Amino acid sequence: MLSLRFDHAFADFRLQVDVRLPMQGVTAFFGPSGSGKTTLLRLIAGLEKPARGFLQVGTAVWQDGPQGLPTHQRRVGYVFQEARLFPHLSVAENLAYGQRRAGSPQGTQVDRARLLQMLGIEALLTRRPERLSGGEAQRVAIARALLTDPQILLMDEPLAALDAARKAEILPYLERLHAESQIPIIYVSHQFEEVARLADHLVLLEAGQVVASGPLSELTTRLDLPLAYRAEAEAIIDAQVVEHDTAFHLTRVAFAGGHLWLPLHSAPIGSLVRVRVRARDVSLTLAAQTGTSILNILPAVLTDLAEESDSQVMLGLDVGGTRFLSRVTRKSVSLLDLVPGKTVFAQIKGVAIVE
Amino acid sequence: MSPGDLSALWLTLKLAGLVTLILLLLGTPLAWWLAHSRCRLKPAIEALVALPIVLPPSVLGFYLLVALGPHGPIGLVTQSLGLGTLPFTFAGLVLASIIYSLPFVVQPLQQAFAAIPPGLYEAAATLRARPLDRWLSIALPLARPGFLTAGILGFAHTLGEFGVVLMVGGNIEGETRVVSVQIYDHVEAMDYGAAHRLALTLLTLSFLVLVLLYRQRQPWRL
């Protein structure tokens, strides 16, 4: 468990945070610029000194009241927006810089060769940082941070300084890191797409306050939070590939509440994928429909609803324990007498893998 | 070259070498402070450091002479420490040269330190480097061109000083008679041949030192 409690005031800004986070998977700090995401990350690393606070990472206490460990004594990995490689050192020397200083007694937990291969930087070792592309430099920076065998990896908008093509190049590496690394990651971003692809846990920040903290799938579908009212409001569901129908070019995935068909995908059977179901692609019927062109029909219970506008209502659905959103007209709510607790059938028109 | 010329040449090199060494040691923390401080006094300190660039050497020499003299503030301290007074001694010359050449060492160092992105020190801290380690492993190597420029400029500038030497050091063979003063003596004595020989030596030496400077200033190859 990662416990954070900070009260940190700037000139015209105050960060007040009291939150507990899982020590596994990717936790995203998500919010608009100026919401305090980066400051919070810097407080965790000790790059910013709080007047007082409490910070516990696993069993290690890094900050207690006014007393905090200096950055170099925290087992933290930090990836900055810009790679911040040392220009006078080669890639190999940059990688060795932290690894040598961290030098854990049993040798580092991180398998260097495997890490370099995973990040695709084996061929760059003799290069100078000035001769790396932005994406390459950022991958080296990630490896450099991981080689210190950190208890936690902090990433401050690592893609923000890259153009779209470089982002697309580096995201698969981050996904692999997520899948293969045991190290918990805190990822700061204001791009929801990055968060949707990478995060398991989400911390929503606004004006220095935590608006909500919880699993990504929960927070994207909560009707009391702004994420459910984006034009692309959606449920994000972790699922497993169970079947490929090559005749009709379809793939079937299983999730906690049932199965979904989606266009044929290359992911092998058994692999874990993340699918998105947009609220506008989910319509409701009171009885199970036959003679419909829609393949994905799931029994659901309407749990809650909120008026989005004069004409539209957002509905929260429970499908065997998994939450979905459905955007319908206010008229439909009235015609079908949609009230919480009602059993309905969700017809899902579009399912896509998040990528 | 006469034994007097050789003695003056040796004294000059000894002075310039010693002054450069001391200036690099003292100038580094001062330059680091100037590069990073947000203190309100910083502009005044910077101006003080830069004064020797604009002041006539005789003005600087005059005040140093008064300060180091038997009734001056520094003179009183040195006398109470049993060191006597410093004017007309090699030690006095070293002290005067340190002040005279200070900006030529401090300014390049300050610029070199200021040019290093501070984010690199943060990155080093997250990579477990202690403060001194960060300075030695990041600041020092990245400021290397600045150190070379500072050392060469400090040395070359001390080689060529005349006014301050004459005011503070006087003209004592083997003690304070540096090359520039010796040349002046030769000219006074109408011995233009001897003056030529020594002047050409100093000119060549200064030229070579500056070539060294500009060679290392070429685009920094890593």
Question: Domain spans of chain B?
Answer: 3-38+87-217
Q: Is residue A139 part of a domain?
A: yes
Cα(B209)–Cα(B215) distance, integer angstroms:
10
Query: What percentage of chain A exceeds 70 in pLDDT?
Result: 98
- Which secondary structure element, helix H or strand E, spans residue A121, and what is its range? none
Q: Are residues A295 and A319 in the same domain?
A: yes
Average pLDDT over all residues of chain A = 90
Does the structure show a pLDDT above 80 at B54?
Answer: yes
How many distinct structural domains can be found in chain A? 2
Q: Return all residues near B95 (Cβ < 8 A) that are at least 6 apart.
A: B64, B68, B86
State residue A13's pLDDT score. 86
Q: Is residue A73 part of a domain?
A: yes
Q: Is residue A228 part of a domain?
A: no
Q: Judge whether A61 and A55 are in contact, CB under 8 Å.
A: yes
A93 alpha-carbon distance from chain centroid: 31
Q: Is residue A311 part of a domain?
A: yes
Q: Do B125 and A71 touch (CB under 8 A)?
A: yes
Does the structure show a pLDDT above 50 at A46?
Answer: yes
Residue among B119, B133, B222 whose CB faces A84 most closely: B119
Give the CATH superfamily of B3-38+87-217.
MetI-like (1.10.3720.10)
Q: Are residues A7 and A36 in the same domain?
A: yes
Q: Are residues A334 and A200 in the same domain?
A: no
State residue B33's pLDDT score. 96
Q: Do B129 and A72 touch (CB under 8 A)?
A: yes
All residues of chain B having their beta carbon less than 8 Å from the beta carbon of residue A72 are 125-126, 128-131
State residue B220's pLDDT score. 47
Q: How confident is the model at residue A293 (pLDDT cuts 50, 70, 90)?
A: confident
Q: Are residues A206 and A244 in the same domain?
A: no
DSSP notation for B50-110: HHHHHS-HHHHHHHHHHHHSTTSHHHHHHHHTT----TTSHHHHHHHHHHHHHHHHHHHHH
Please tell me if residue A130 touches chain B, with a CB cutoff of 8 Å: yes
Q: Are residues A16 and A109 in the same domain?
A: yes
Q: Return all residues near A36 (Cβ < 8 A) that are at least 6 apart.
A: A13, A15, A17, A205, A207, A208, A209
Q: Are residues A13 and A66 in the same domain?
A: yes
User: B82-97 burial, b for 16+ CB within 10 Å, e for fewer?
Assistant: eeebbbbbbebbbbbb
Give the domain CATH number at A195: 3.40.50.300
Does the structure show a pLDDT above 60 at A108?
Answer: no
This complex has an ipTM of 0.86
Q: Are residues A199 and A255 in the same domain?
A: no
Q: Is residue A227 part of a domain?
A: no
Which tokens sit at B48?
Answer: 């003080």
Give the domain CATH number at A249: 2.40.50.100
Does the structure show a pLDDT above 50 at B89?
Answer: yes
Cα(A55)–Cα(A63) distance, integer angstroms:
5
Please tell me if residue B141 touches chain A, with a CB cutoff of 8 Å: yes
Q: Are residues A178 and A249 in the same domain?
A: no
Range of the domain at A275: 234-352
State residue B210's pLDDT score. 85
Listed residue (B79, B55, B71) closest to B164, CA to CA = B55
Q: Do B125 and A47 touch (CB under 8 A)?
A: yes
Cα(B191)–Cα(B196) distance, integer angstroms:
9
Residue among A77, A88, A101 whose CB faces B222 most closely: A88
Q: How confident is the model at residue B162 (pLDDT cuts 50, 70, 90)?
A: confident
Q: Which residue of A has its CA nearest to B130?
A: A72
All residues of chain B having their beta carbon less than 8 Å from the beta carbon of residue A84 are 117, 119-120, 122-123
Q: Distance, in angstroms, between A102 CA and closest chain B CA?
A: 6
Q: Is residue A255 part of a domain?
A: yes
Q: What is the pLDDT of residues A120-135, one digit of tens each?
A: 899 999 999 999 998 9
Q: What is the pLDDT of residues A174-217, one digit of tens each?
A: 888 888 888 899 999 988 988 998 899 999 999 999 999 999 99
Where is the domain boundary, A190, A219, A248?
A: A219
pTM: 0.86
